[in-house]
Structure 1
Amino acid sequence: MQQEKKIICVTPIYNDWESFSILIEELEKVCVEFSNYQIKIVAINDGSSDETKCPSTSLPIQIVNLKTNIGHQRAIAVGLQYVYNEEKDYDFVVVLDSDGEDIPSHIPLLVEKAEKEQSKKIIFAERNKRQESIYFKMGYFFYKRIFYFLTGQKISFGNFSVIPNQILSRVVHQSNIWNHYSGGIIQSKIPFDKLLLDRGKRYRGVSKMNFNNLILHGLSSISVYFDYLSLKILRYSLYGILLCSLSVGVVLFKKYVTDSAIPGWASSLILIISSIILQLFSVTLIVLLMQLSSRKNITAPNSKIYKKFIVEK
């Protein structure tokens, strides 16, 4: 007899209730195919302006209404904290989008992978084949490489993931997941692994992740690594100051030691290089002060921030 698995699916929704209805149908199919699965849905209504539509289903659904739109990533953070504090009986938490791009039939594969890791790791769906436009793919290509250059980390997955019950406590106490869920997990050093899976097509409508939103999403993921990014900026600024100082030395050498200097050329070049040094020094000082300022503020981990965002019943 197969062991029963109790799974809670956390999915944010913003004016996409038609896709949400199809998602529920797909989750029902998963329960039919895997009779040992018990799935409950926690839908985070991220301040939708459209009327909330909860379809009839045999699956238990909890719709958590937010006071205002707080964005996809923070809606996920609210959902995870809600499950951690309000739900008691579950084995795994699945984070997935409600639009169909995260395929519900892949959930058993992710759960199986998590069980092979003895429920000690978060399992993310690494994207194998994407359905987006060529422009989006190009943007995502450059985003991954810029992310790696600035943070030193590789990111090849999104939100679709399985979190074992015993790890959820570590996740909800991470403040960085409020900016970017997957980036926050990487930065937190919580153990995770990846499973190569295709990305699905939207059930209905057009994706809200346009080029501008992709840039904002990318900046949110990079902001998680402010400490590392600050050190990198400081390092390159110091390299720049050193290079400029050496350039000034070369100019002075040519002016006073050799006969190749052109009248007025040395003074103008030194002035230009000095202004560059001053700007690099200013950048270094500002970044250093920001880093020190962020270090002096100590905030205790809080797993109940979600209560400030949800509409009181």
Structure 2
Amino acid sequence: MRTVAVLPAYEEAETIGPVIEGTRDHVDEVVVVDDGSSDATAAVARDHGATVIEHVFNTGVGGAVRTGYQYAIRNDYDFVLQIDADGQHDPAHIPRLLEAAADNDMVIASRYLNESFADYGVVRRLGISFFTTVVNVLGGVDITDVTSGFRVYRVAALREILHRSDRHWAVEQTLDAAKRDQRITEVSVAMPTREEGESQFSFDTFLLYPLRMTDVVLRVLLFR
């Protein structure tokens, strides 16, 4: 079974090298989607043996991972692993995720099956809980960490749920997968808070959650 790892990356020249090195031992190919970086992210990724796809401008994580997913589909991979380039996701956990993927269509690494979520800010925890609850209620599933970006997809199943929006892509895909009765499971993985950069969760975005969630739900229910 052939597996490709997709690393969405924006201004991650300082951290991406070790992530690639730790990931390449577990997959057949590492693909870095450089999402319009102005630093040396693409050059560092190539130096560490990754295939690099460069966006001309920044699209956000949703756009970057969609490009990586399309690469996996075009090249007939069996599984696609997604892992962040900032070092928050430990590649040592990849074998456990891939093992779980053998019997599932989507495997999510969850911070809520251990205590690592306790280090996250209140607004971030509320945001994760909000989206997870909505997906559980509407999708009829029981997951704990719908926004996690550390995950594995069976490519045959991914073809059916390729997201359209660059925002809240994980919520859209997971809800779509649930509505299609795809097999979803979680694996407990500790994820420390990122040392650099900013989280997508803030008080301003928290106020927009209901509106954005309505947009996601309508896309899934009307256009799936």
Task: Judge same fold: TM > 0.5, yes or no.
Answer: yes
Identity among equivalent positions (%) equals 22
**2:92 paired residue number:** 105
1:69 maps to amino acid: N
- 1:126 is aligned to 110
* RMSD, aligned CA: 3.2
Aligned length: 208
* SS of equivalent to 1:45: strand
Check the 8 A contact 1:129/1:199 in 2, yes or no.
no
Which of the pair is proportionally richer in helix? Answer: 1
Residues 103 and 200 of structure 1 are in contact (CA less than 8 Å); yes or no, is this contact kept in structure 2?
no
Q: Does structure 2 conserve the Cα–Cα contact (< 8 Å) formed by 1:129 and 1:197?
A: no
> Displacement of 1:43 after TM fit?
0.7
With structure 1 as the length reference, what TM-score do the two structures score?
0.57
Residue deviations 1:51-80, cap 9 Å, x none?
Answer: 3322534x4x21111121111122111221
Please point out which of 8, 29, 32 is paired with 1:43.
32
Correspondence 1:159 to 2:149 = yes
How far did residue 97 of structure 1 move? 0.6
Verify the 8 A CA contact 2:9 2:35 in the aligned structure 1. yes
Deviation at 1:96, TM superposition (A): 1.2
Q: Detail structure 1 runs of 4+ shifted over 6 Å in the superposition.
A: none
- Tell me which residue corresponds to 1:170: 160
C-alpha spacing 1:150/1:24, structure 2 compared with 1 (3 Å): closer
* Aligned partner letter, 1:23: V
SS of 2:38 mapped into structure 1: coil
Verify: 1:53 aligned to 2:43, yes or no: yes
Question: Could you say if the C-alpha distance between residues 213 and 41 of structure 1 is closer, same or farther in structure 2, counting changes exceeding 3 Å?
Answer: farther
Q: Give the conservation status (yes or no) of the 8 Å contact 2:78–2:155.
A: yes
Residues 150, 183 of structure 1: alpha-carbon distance in 2 compared, 3 angstrom cutoff: closer
Cα 1:45–1:148, aligned 2, differ >3 Å: closer, same or farther?
A: closer
TM-score, scaled relative to structure 2: 0.77
1:193 — aligned with what? 185
Rate the CA distance shift 1:93–1:21 in 2: closer, same or farther, 3 A: same
Alpha-carbon distance in structure 2 between the residues aligned to 1:15 and 1:200: 20
CA contact (8 A) 1:9 1:93 kept: yes
Change (3 A) 1:162 1:228: closer
Measured in 1, the distance between the counterparts of 2:204 and 2:83 equals 18
Query: What is the one-letter code of the residue matched to 1:186?
Result: T
Q: Is the 8 A contact 2:129 2:145 kept in 1?
A: no
